[in-house]
Structure 1
Amino acid sequence: MSEPKSIIAGTKVVWTAQFTGDEGDVSQFQYVLLSEQNRVSIDATFAAGEVIVSMSSADSAAIQAGHYTWHLIQTLHGENYQLNEGRIEVKADPTAAQTSTVLTHNEKMLVAIRKRLEGRVLTDHENYSIDGRSLSRIPFESLKKFENDYAWKVHNEKVARGEISRRRSIRFR
Protein backbone atom coordinates (compact mmCIF):
# COMPACT_ATOMS: atom_id res chain seq x y z
CA MET A 1 0.00 0.00 0.00
CA SER A 2 1.13 3.59 -0.40
CA GLU A 3 -0.19 7.10 0.05
CA PRO A 4 -3.76 7.46 -1.24
CA LYS A 5 -4.70 9.83 -4.05
CA SER A 6 -7.75 10.99 -2.07
CA ILE A 7 -9.33 10.62 1.35
CA ILE A 8 -12.76 11.52 2.69
CA ALA A 9 -12.91 13.83 5.70
CA GLY A 10 -14.89 12.43 8.61
CA THR A 11 -13.91 8.82 7.92
CA LYS A 12 -11.20 6.62 9.43
CA VAL A 13 -8.07 6.91 7.30
CA VAL A 14 -5.34 4.24 7.26
CA TRP A 15 -2.39 3.81 4.92
CA THR A 16 1.14 2.47 4.95
CA ALA A 17 4.27 3.38 3.02
CA GLN A 18 7.45 1.34 2.64
CA PHE A 19 10.53 2.69 4.43
CA THR A 20 13.86 1.13 3.55
CA GLY A 21 16.10 3.64 5.30
CA ASP A 22 18.19 3.18 8.42
CA GLU A 23 17.15 3.82 12.01
CA GLY A 24 13.40 3.70 11.43
CA ASP A 25 12.92 2.43 14.98
CA VAL A 26 14.46 5.55 16.52
CA SER A 27 12.92 8.03 14.07
CA GLN A 28 9.72 10.02 14.23
CA PHE A 29 7.58 10.31 11.11
CA GLN A 30 4.91 12.76 10.10
CA TYR A 31 3.01 13.72 6.99
CA VAL A 32 2.61 17.45 6.40
CA LEU A 33 -0.31 18.42 4.14
CA LEU A 34 -0.15 21.91 2.63
CA SER A 35 -2.71 23.86 0.63
CA GLU A 36 -3.08 27.55 -0.10
CA GLN A 37 -5.20 28.02 3.04
CA ASN A 38 -4.33 25.13 5.35
CA ARG A 39 -1.50 23.19 6.96
CA VAL A 40 -2.16 19.80 8.53
CA SER A 41 0.32 17.58 10.40
CA ILE A 42 -0.41 13.87 10.68
CA ASP A 43 1.76 11.77 12.99
CA ALA A 44 2.82 8.35 11.74
CA THR A 45 4.36 5.31 13.39
CA PHE A 46 6.99 2.85 12.20
CA ALA A 47 6.79 -0.95 12.29
CA ALA A 48 8.27 -3.77 10.20
CA GLY A 49 9.74 -1.53 7.52
CA GLU A 50 6.58 0.53 7.03
CA VAL A 51 5.45 4.00 7.98
CA ILE A 52 1.87 3.66 9.21
CA VAL A 53 -0.81 6.34 9.32
CA SER A 54 -4.00 5.69 11.26
CA MET A 55 -6.26 8.69 11.70
CA SER A 56 -9.62 8.57 13.48
CA SER A 57 -12.76 9.86 11.81
CA ALA A 58 -12.86 12.74 14.32
CA ASP A 59 -9.32 13.79 13.37
CA SER A 60 -9.95 13.54 9.64
CA ALA A 61 -13.17 15.57 10.01
CA ALA A 62 -11.02 18.54 11.06
CA ILE A 63 -9.27 18.62 7.67
CA GLN A 64 -10.80 21.07 5.21
CA ALA A 65 -11.75 19.67 1.81
CA GLY A 66 -9.40 20.61 -1.02
CA HIS A 67 -6.22 19.71 -2.85
CA TYR A 68 -3.02 19.37 -0.84
CA THR A 69 0.61 18.51 -1.40
CA TRP A 70 1.87 16.02 1.17
CA HIS A 71 5.43 15.66 2.45
CA LEU A 72 6.66 12.65 4.42
CA ILE A 73 9.15 13.93 7.01
CA GLN A 74 11.51 11.78 9.07
CA THR A 75 12.97 13.32 12.22
CA LEU A 76 16.20 11.59 13.26
CA HIS A 77 18.54 12.95 15.97
CA GLY A 78 16.90 16.39 15.74
CA GLU A 79 17.29 16.65 11.97
CA ASN A 80 14.37 16.62 9.50
CA TYR A 81 14.59 14.67 6.25
CA GLN A 82 11.99 14.78 3.51
CA LEU A 83 11.50 11.22 2.29
CA ASN A 84 8.76 11.67 -0.27
CA GLU A 85 6.11 14.05 -1.53
CA GLY A 86 2.99 13.98 -3.66
CA ARG A 87 -0.56 15.27 -4.05
CA ILE A 88 -3.75 14.27 -2.25
CA GLU A 89 -7.35 15.40 -2.46
CA VAL A 90 -9.41 15.64 0.71
CA LYS A 91 -13.08 15.22 -0.15
CA ALA A 92 -15.77 16.82 2.01
CA ASP A 93 -17.34 14.87 4.86
CA PRO A 94 -20.58 13.51 3.38
CA THR A 95 -22.20 13.21 6.82
CA ALA A 96 -21.73 16.94 7.48
CA ALA A 97 -22.71 18.20 4.02
CA GLN A 98 -26.17 19.58 3.31
CA THR A 99 -25.85 19.62 -0.49
CA SER A 100 -23.37 18.62 -3.14
CA THR A 101 -22.50 19.56 -6.69
CA VAL A 102 -23.37 16.52 -8.74
CA LEU A 103 -22.58 17.69 -12.27
CA THR A 104 -19.07 17.57 -13.68
CA HIS A 105 -17.62 20.56 -15.52
CA ASN A 106 -18.45 18.99 -18.88
CA GLU A 107 -22.05 18.31 -17.81
CA LYS A 108 -22.45 21.92 -16.63
CA MET A 109 -21.07 23.22 -19.93
CA LEU A 110 -23.40 20.97 -21.94
CA VAL A 111 -26.42 22.24 -19.98
CA ALA A 112 -25.33 25.88 -20.51
CA ILE A 113 -24.78 25.38 -24.25
CA ARG A 114 -28.16 23.70 -24.65
CA LYS A 115 -29.87 26.55 -22.79
CA ARG A 116 -28.15 29.02 -25.10
CA LEU A 117 -29.26 27.03 -28.14
CA GLU A 118 -32.86 26.98 -26.87
CA GLY A 119 -32.75 30.75 -26.48
CA ARG A 120 -31.31 31.12 -29.97
CA VAL A 121 -34.27 29.32 -31.48
CA LEU A 122 -36.49 32.15 -30.27
CA THR A 123 -34.25 34.90 -31.66
CA ASP A 124 -32.50 34.61 -34.97
CA HIS A 125 -30.17 37.63 -34.62
CA GLU A 126 -26.44 36.88 -34.82
CA ASN A 127 -25.56 40.51 -34.08
CA TYR A 128 -27.30 43.83 -33.76
CA SER A 129 -26.63 47.49 -32.91
CA ILE A 130 -28.52 49.96 -30.74
CA ASP A 131 -27.38 53.57 -30.31
CA GLY A 132 -23.90 52.86 -31.61
CA ARG A 133 -23.40 49.84 -29.36
CA SER A 134 -23.19 46.46 -31.01
CA LEU A 135 -23.55 42.92 -29.75
CA SER A 136 -22.37 39.80 -31.54
CA ARG A 137 -23.46 36.34 -30.50
CA ILE A 138 -21.69 33.05 -30.93
CA PRO A 139 -22.74 31.68 -34.33
CA PHE A 140 -25.33 28.91 -34.21
CA GLU A 141 -23.01 26.48 -36.02
CA SER A 142 -20.30 27.02 -33.41
CA LEU A 143 -22.77 26.37 -30.59
CA LYS A 144 -23.87 23.14 -32.28
CA LYS A 145 -20.22 22.07 -32.61
CA PHE A 146 -19.60 22.85 -28.91
CA GLU A 147 -22.74 20.91 -27.99
CA ASN A 148 -21.54 17.88 -29.94
CA ASP A 149 -18.04 18.09 -28.41
CA TYR A 150 -19.34 18.33 -24.85
CA ALA A 151 -21.96 15.64 -25.44
CA TRP A 152 -19.13 13.25 -26.36
CA LYS A 153 -17.09 14.32 -23.32
CA VAL A 154 -20.09 13.68 -21.06
CA HIS A 155 -20.69 10.33 -22.76
CA ASN A 156 -17.05 9.29 -22.20
CA GLU A 157 -17.24 10.34 -18.53
CA LYS A 158 -20.36 8.22 -18.05
CA VAL A 159 -18.67 5.25 -19.73
CA ALA A 160 -15.63 5.68 -17.45
CA ARG A 161 -17.90 5.76 -14.37
CA GLY A 162 -19.72 2.64 -15.59
CA GLU A 163 -23.08 4.39 -15.87
CA ILE A 164 -23.54 3.44 -19.53
CA SER A 165 -21.82 1.10 -21.96
CA ARG A 166 -19.62 2.26 -24.79
CA ARG A 167 -21.37 2.90 -28.08
CA ARG A 168 -20.62 0.33 -30.75
CA SER A 169 -21.11 0.68 -34.46
CA ILE A 170 -22.50 -2.32 -36.28
CA ARG A 171 -22.62 -2.47 -40.05
CA PHE A 172 -24.84 -4.94 -41.84
CA ARG A 173 -24.00 -6.07 -45.35
Structure 2
Amino acid sequence: MTLIRMPAQMIAGDALRLAVPSGDYPASEGWTVALTLQALAGGAPVTANATEAGGDWEVVINSVTSASLAPGPYRYLIAGTKDGNRSTIEHGQIEVLPDPAKAAQDQRSAARRALDAIDAVLENRASSEDMKFTFADGRALDKIPHADLLVLRKHYARIVARENTKGRGLKRVLVRI
Protein backbone atom coordinates (compact mmCIF):
# COMPACT_ATOMS: atom_id res chain seq x y z
CA MET A 1 0.00 0.00 0.00
CA THR A 2 1.40 3.35 -1.06
CA LEU A 3 1.27 6.18 1.47
CA ILE A 4 0.49 9.56 -0.08
CA ARG A 5 -0.34 12.63 1.96
CA MET A 6 -3.09 14.14 -0.16
CA PRO A 7 -4.65 17.04 1.75
CA ALA A 8 -8.41 17.22 2.29
CA GLN A 9 -8.37 20.84 1.13
CA MET A 10 -6.22 23.21 -0.90
CA ILE A 11 -6.47 26.91 -1.64
CA ALA A 12 -6.79 27.96 -5.28
CA GLY A 13 -3.54 29.69 -6.23
CA ASP A 14 -1.34 27.60 -3.90
CA ALA A 15 1.06 25.06 -5.38
CA LEU A 16 0.37 21.44 -4.45
CA ARG A 17 3.34 19.05 -4.12
CA LEU A 18 2.92 15.34 -3.51
CA ALA A 19 5.55 12.70 -2.96
CA VAL A 20 4.43 9.37 -4.41
CA PRO A 21 6.59 6.40 -3.42
CA SER A 22 7.53 4.43 -6.52
CA GLY A 23 6.78 1.08 -4.84
CA ASP A 24 5.15 -1.06 -7.53
CA TYR A 25 5.44 1.70 -10.16
CA PRO A 26 9.17 2.39 -10.74
CA ALA A 27 10.21 4.53 -13.69
CA SER A 28 13.02 2.05 -14.36
CA GLU A 29 10.36 -0.50 -15.38
CA GLY A 30 8.58 1.90 -17.74
CA TRP A 31 5.89 3.31 -15.42
CA THR A 32 4.62 6.89 -15.57
CA VAL A 33 2.51 8.46 -12.82
CA ALA A 34 -0.03 11.30 -13.02
CA LEU A 35 -2.55 13.11 -10.82
CA THR A 36 -5.92 14.03 -12.33
CA LEU A 37 -8.40 16.43 -10.70
CA GLN A 38 -12.02 16.47 -11.87
CA ALA A 39 -14.53 18.99 -10.50
CA LEU A 40 -17.74 17.34 -9.31
CA ALA A 41 -19.59 20.19 -11.01
CA GLY A 42 -18.08 19.12 -14.33
CA GLY A 43 -15.67 20.71 -16.75
CA ALA A 44 -12.34 19.63 -18.16
CA PRO A 45 -10.07 17.61 -15.87
CA VAL A 46 -6.66 18.94 -14.81
CA THR A 47 -3.77 16.48 -15.10
CA ALA A 48 -0.27 16.85 -13.67
CA ASN A 49 2.37 14.34 -14.72
CA ALA A 50 4.79 13.21 -12.02
CA THR A 51 8.55 13.43 -12.39
CA GLU A 52 11.03 10.95 -11.00
CA ALA A 53 12.64 12.31 -7.83
CA GLY A 54 15.25 10.19 -6.09
CA GLY A 55 13.68 6.88 -7.03
CA ASP A 56 10.17 8.04 -6.12
CA TRP A 57 7.69 10.30 -7.90
CA GLU A 58 6.88 13.97 -7.34
CA VAL A 59 3.62 15.48 -8.57
CA VAL A 60 3.31 19.25 -8.70
CA ILE A 61 0.30 21.39 -9.53
CA ASN A 62 1.82 24.83 -9.87
CA SER A 63 0.26 28.05 -8.61
CA VAL A 64 -0.90 29.16 -12.07
CA THR A 65 -2.77 25.91 -12.69
CA SER A 66 -4.13 25.88 -9.14
CA ALA A 67 -5.42 29.45 -9.52
CA SER A 68 -7.54 28.31 -12.48
CA LEU A 69 -9.42 25.77 -10.33
CA ALA A 70 -12.94 26.83 -9.42
CA PRO A 71 -13.72 26.50 -5.71
CA GLY A 72 -15.63 23.36 -4.82
CA PRO A 73 -15.24 19.61 -4.47
CA TYR A 74 -13.01 17.63 -6.82
CA ARG A 75 -12.34 13.94 -7.30
CA TYR A 76 -8.70 13.04 -7.63
CA LEU A 77 -6.97 10.03 -9.13
CA ILE A 78 -3.29 9.19 -8.84
CA ALA A 79 -2.48 6.44 -11.31
CA GLY A 80 0.47 4.66 -12.81
CA THR A 81 0.49 3.77 -16.49
CA LYS A 82 2.64 1.21 -18.28
CA ASP A 83 2.19 -0.21 -21.77
CA GLY A 84 -1.16 1.59 -22.09
CA ASN A 85 -2.58 -0.04 -18.94
CA ARG A 86 -3.60 2.13 -16.03
CA SER A 87 -3.32 1.11 -12.38
CA THR A 88 -4.94 3.25 -9.66
CA ILE A 89 -2.53 4.14 -6.88
CA GLU A 90 -4.92 6.32 -4.87
CA HIS A 91 -8.21 8.15 -5.36
CA GLY A 92 -10.48 10.30 -3.26
CA GLN A 93 -11.87 13.79 -2.92
CA ILE A 94 -10.30 17.18 -2.25
CA GLU A 95 -12.01 20.53 -1.65
CA VAL A 96 -10.58 23.54 -3.48
CA LEU A 97 -11.10 26.65 -1.38
CA PRO A 98 -11.33 30.15 -2.88
CA ASP A 99 -8.20 32.29 -2.91
CA PRO A 100 -8.65 34.78 -0.06
CA ALA A 101 -6.31 37.19 -1.89
CA LYS A 102 -8.93 37.66 -4.62
CA ALA A 103 -11.49 39.94 -2.99
CA ALA A 104 -13.80 40.03 -6.03
CA GLN A 105 -14.26 36.27 -5.94
CA ASP A 106 -17.23 34.76 -4.13
CA GLN A 107 -15.73 33.54 -0.84
CA ARG A 108 -18.64 31.26 0.08
CA SER A 109 -18.21 27.50 0.06
CA ALA A 110 -20.11 25.44 -2.51
CA ALA A 111 -22.51 24.30 0.22
CA ARG A 112 -23.12 27.90 1.38
CA ARG A 113 -23.82 29.02 -2.21
CA ALA A 114 -26.27 26.12 -2.65
CA LEU A 115 -28.02 26.89 0.64
CA ASP A 116 -28.29 30.60 -0.19
CA ALA A 117 -29.73 29.84 -3.64
CA ILE A 118 -32.27 27.37 -2.18
CA ASP A 119 -33.31 29.90 0.47
CA ALA A 120 -33.78 32.59 -2.19
CA VAL A 121 -36.08 30.30 -4.20
CA LEU A 122 -38.06 29.20 -1.13
CA GLU A 123 -38.51 32.83 -0.05
CA ASN A 124 -39.59 33.93 -3.57
CA ARG A 125 -36.70 36.39 -3.84
CA ALA A 126 -34.51 34.45 -6.27
CA SER A 127 -32.71 36.46 -8.91
CA SER A 128 -32.15 35.16 -12.41
CA GLU A 129 -28.60 34.34 -11.28
CA ASP A 130 -29.96 32.25 -8.37
CA MET A 131 -32.24 30.37 -10.76
CA LYS A 132 -29.22 29.42 -12.93
CA PHE A 133 -27.64 27.55 -9.99
CA THR A 134 -26.82 23.94 -10.88
CA PHE A 135 -25.98 21.24 -8.35
CA ALA A 136 -23.02 18.86 -8.69
CA ASP A 137 -25.35 16.13 -9.98
CA GLY A 138 -26.44 18.39 -12.87
CA ARG A 139 -29.92 19.28 -11.58
CA ALA A 140 -30.92 22.91 -12.15
CA LEU A 141 -32.42 24.74 -9.19
CA ASP A 142 -35.39 26.00 -11.22
CA LYS A 143 -36.38 22.41 -12.14
CA ILE A 144 -36.53 20.97 -8.61
CA PRO A 145 -39.96 20.54 -6.96
CA HIS A 146 -40.65 22.47 -3.74
CA ALA A 147 -40.72 19.33 -1.54
CA ASP A 148 -37.32 18.26 -2.87
CA LEU A 149 -35.94 21.74 -2.22
CA LEU A 150 -36.91 21.41 1.43
CA VAL A 151 -34.98 18.13 1.66
CA LEU A 152 -31.97 19.68 -0.09
CA ARG A 153 -32.13 22.67 2.23
CA LYS A 154 -31.82 20.42 5.30
CA HIS A 155 -28.87 18.62 3.72
CA TYR A 156 -26.96 21.80 2.86
CA ALA A 157 -27.82 23.45 6.19
CA ARG A 158 -26.11 20.53 7.98
CA ILE A 159 -23.02 20.86 5.79
CA VAL A 160 -22.83 24.62 6.36
CA ALA A 161 -23.24 24.14 10.12
CA ARG A 162 -20.29 21.71 10.10
CA GLU A 163 -18.23 24.17 8.04
CA ASN A 164 -19.01 26.95 10.50
CA THR A 165 -17.73 24.94 13.47
CA LYS A 166 -14.77 23.31 11.66
CA GLY A 167 -11.44 24.49 12.94
CA ARG A 168 -12.85 26.16 16.02
CA GLY A 169 -12.28 23.15 18.23
CA LEU A 170 -15.97 23.09 19.06
CA LYS A 171 -17.54 19.79 19.90
CA ARG A 172 -21.05 18.95 20.87
CA VAL A 173 -21.14 17.27 24.25
CA LEU A 174 -24.26 15.45 25.37
CA VAL A 175 -24.90 15.40 29.09
CA ARG A 176 -27.46 13.23 30.81
CA ILE A 177 -28.92 14.69 33.99
Q: Which amino acid aligns with 1:27?
A: W
Q: Which residue of structure 2 aligns with residue 83 of structure 1?
A: 88
Structure with greater proportional strand content: 1
Q: Alpha carbon RMSD of aligned pairs, Å?
A: 3.7
**Structure possessing the higher radius of gyration over alpha carbons:** 1
Which residue of 2 is the match for residue 101 of structure 1? 108
Residue 86 of structure 2 aligns to which amino acid in structure 1? Y
Give the 3-state SS of the residue equivalent to 2:50 in structure 1.
strand
| 1:101-127 Cα deviation digits (max 9, x unpaired) | 38x86xx89xx8xxxxxxxxxxxxxxx
Aligned residues: 128
Segments of 4+ in structure 1 off by > 3 A? 156-160, 163-169
> Can you list the C-alpha shifts for 1:54-109, whole angstroms capped at 9, x where unaligned?
23211211222221211222232x4131323221222222222424238x86xx89
- In the alignment, the residues of structure 2 paired with residue 165 and residue 87 of structure 1 have an alpha-carbon distance, to the nearest angstrom, of 24
11, 14, 20: which is aligned to 2:14?
11
Note the 1:1-173 alignment, pairs <5 A. 1-25=4-28, 26-35=30-39, 36-76=42-82, 78-84=83-89, 85-98=91-104, 99-101=106-108, 161-162=167-168
Q: CA deviation at 1:6?
A: 1.8
Task: Tell me which residue corresponds to 2:151.
Answer: none
Counterpart of 1:101 in structure 2: which amino acid?
Answer: R
Deviations along 1:112-159, whole A, 9 cap, x unmatched?
8xxxxxxxxxxxxxxxxxxxxxxxxxxxxxxxxxxxxx9xx95x8766
TM-score (norm 2): 0.53
Unaligned residue ranges in structure 1 (runs of 5+): 113-149
Q: Percent identity?
A: 22
CA distance in 2, matches of 1:159, 1:62: 28
1:161, CA displacement in angstroms?
2.8
